Amino acid sequence: MSYSTVIPGLEGGPLLTNHPVFIKLLPLDGYMRPGTGFSGTPIMVQHGTGNPNSSAASEARWLVDDRASGSQQSYHYITDDKETWVCLPLNEHGWHAADSGGPGNMRGIACEMIESTAVWNDPARRAKCIENAAEIMGRTAARKKASGPEQHWAFNYMLPTNLRHDCPNKLRHVYINGRLAWGIYVERFEFYYNEEIASMGGKPVPTPEPATPIKAGDRVRVTENLNVRRGYGLSFPVIATLPAGTIANVGNDPDGRHAVDADGYTWINIAFGKDSGWAASSWLEKIAAPEPAPAPTPKGKSFEVLYGPIPVRKEPGFNGKIIGEFSVGSKGKVVDGPKQMDTLIWYLVDGDVDGWIPTGILKAVDVA
Ligand SMILES: [Zn+2]
């Protein structure tokens, strides 16, 4: 039986596997899921849960729903003899290798293999558990052009011996028919890696053109707290984190691009405040069309103040210094504007006083 799953952040379309794969992503919280990409070529890192009583489903619930009881940990896959659960997108790193900002965490694609007594005391279930973990990791390695597989043990050597994780414990220590389980795992990993490469036509995964409904000039709303980067890709520095609900305008970069695909995301060029940068489209939703541009400057046209008295300001906006006042019926000419400020449209006018007044109290009329 074959299963087809779209795995977030995994290039190349749905992944076909011999066991079912379920998605249960950690929220993008900057703590368990930092939302940042790998700092280099990904490395496949295999773990074991060390838990004598859990399943992949229960471990996924503990990680995502119970938030790992408050500990800062996260991994891409949790696998047992029945299924795999995906808890991190495959283009983001997690916290699982106990090597701080080292290559295990920053470049690792992690799989937690179930080590329950029920599975590991049953030769058939144990074999399928190894097979499933080798399959999801081997196929993923092919798609990601990743290195490995490596053991968690390879990365936390800087810890004191008594704290170093002897992980994946079962694969490292259990012998099956005279063979170390790790050797069996690696053999099956390579089998699936090669099968996946063959199914890809032996070619690298093509990079598709950006296919996004977001266009330059659109307004977008940030759906979750979102990192904005200097460039289009996870390797560029974060220049701002926009809170959910922020409204931004889609623009173009100096090369005229408003959307670029990289690192598994479509990056959108957005302007916010006085800055601009690139953000992943996955957390941007298009909102109503941009407000229509104000009418062209009616420069040189005469106006009449319909409501008053109104203050005249040195600069547009309610923070502009008041330099005079127009009463109802005051007349003059429009000199500059429109300018949008404090949700109103302002015009610089030339009358009894020269300054800025908001539209709505001024009626521009054609000069005869
Ligand atoms: Zn581990």
pLDDT in tens, 54-113: 999 999 999 999 999 999 999 999 999 999 999 999 999 999 999 888 889 999 999 999
Quote the ligand 1 centre to 79 CA distance (angstroms): 13
> What pLDDT sits at residue 342?
66
Quote the ligand 1 centre to 68 CA distance (angstroms): 14
Quote the ligand 1 centre to 42 CA distance (angstroms): 17
Q: Give the tokens for residue 176.
A: 């099956």
> What pLDDT sits at residue 275?
81
Tokens 């081997």 found at: 138
> What pLDDT sits at residue 196?
95
Quote the ligand 1 centre to 136 CA distance (angstroms): 17
Instruction: Give me the architecture of the 302-365 domain, per CATH.
Output: Roll (2.30)
Q: Give the tokens for residue 183.
A: 């050797």
Q: What is the DSSP letter of 292?
A: P
The answer to whether residues 141 and 11 touch, using CB atoms and an 8 Å cutoff, is no
Quote the ligand 1 centre to 96 CA distance (angstroms): 6
Q: Which CATH superfamily groups domain 3-199?
A: Peptidoglycan recognition protein-like (3.40.80.10)
pLDDT band at residue 261 using 50, 70 and 90 as cut-offs: confident
Q: Give the tokens for residue 237.
A: 């520095």
Query: Strand 108-113 vs strand 77-79: parallel, antiparallel, or unpaired?
Result: parallel
**Does the N-terminal peptide bond of residue 149 adopt cis geometry, omega within 30 degrees of 0?**
yes
Looking at domain 219-286, its CATH class is mainly beta
* pLDDT tens, position by position, 265-320: 889 999 887 788 899 999 999 887 655 555 566 777 887 877 667 788 899 887 78
> What pLDDT sits at residue 24?
96
> What pLDDT sits at residue 363?
63
| Closest to 46 in 3D by CA, of 176, 170, 194 | 170
Quote the ligand 1 centre to 54 CA distance (angstroms): 15
> What pLDDT sits at residue 204?
52
Residues with CB under 5 A from ligand 1 (ion): 47, 152, 165, 167
| Closest to 25 in 3D by CA, of 4, 10, 43 | 10
* pLDDT tens, position by position, 315-338: 988 778 889 888 878 888 888 888
The answer to whether residues 241 and 228 touch, using CB atoms and an 8 Å cutoff, is yes
Quote the ligand 1 centre to 361 CA distance (angstroms): 69
Strand partners, 345: 340
* pLDDT tens, position by position, 155-185: 887 777 777 889 999 999 999 999 999 999 9
Amino acid at 12: G
Mean pLDDT for the chain overall? 87
- How much of the chain exceeds pLDDT 70, in percent? 90
Quote the ligand 1 centre to 83 CA distance (angstroms): 19
* pLDDT tens, position by position, 216-234: 888 899 998 999 988 888 8
Burial of 158 (0-12, 13-18, 19+ CB in 10 A): exposed
In this model, does residue 365 exceed pLDDT 60?
no
Give the start-to-end residue ranges of the domains of the chain: 3-199, 219-286, 302-365
| Closest to 50 in 3D by CA, of 92, 78, 86 | 78
> What pLDDT sits at residue 213?
82
Are 219-286 and 302-365 equal in CATH topology? Answer: yes
The pTM for the full model equals 0.58
Q: Helices in 164-292 by DSSP H: which ranges?
A: 169-173, 181-199
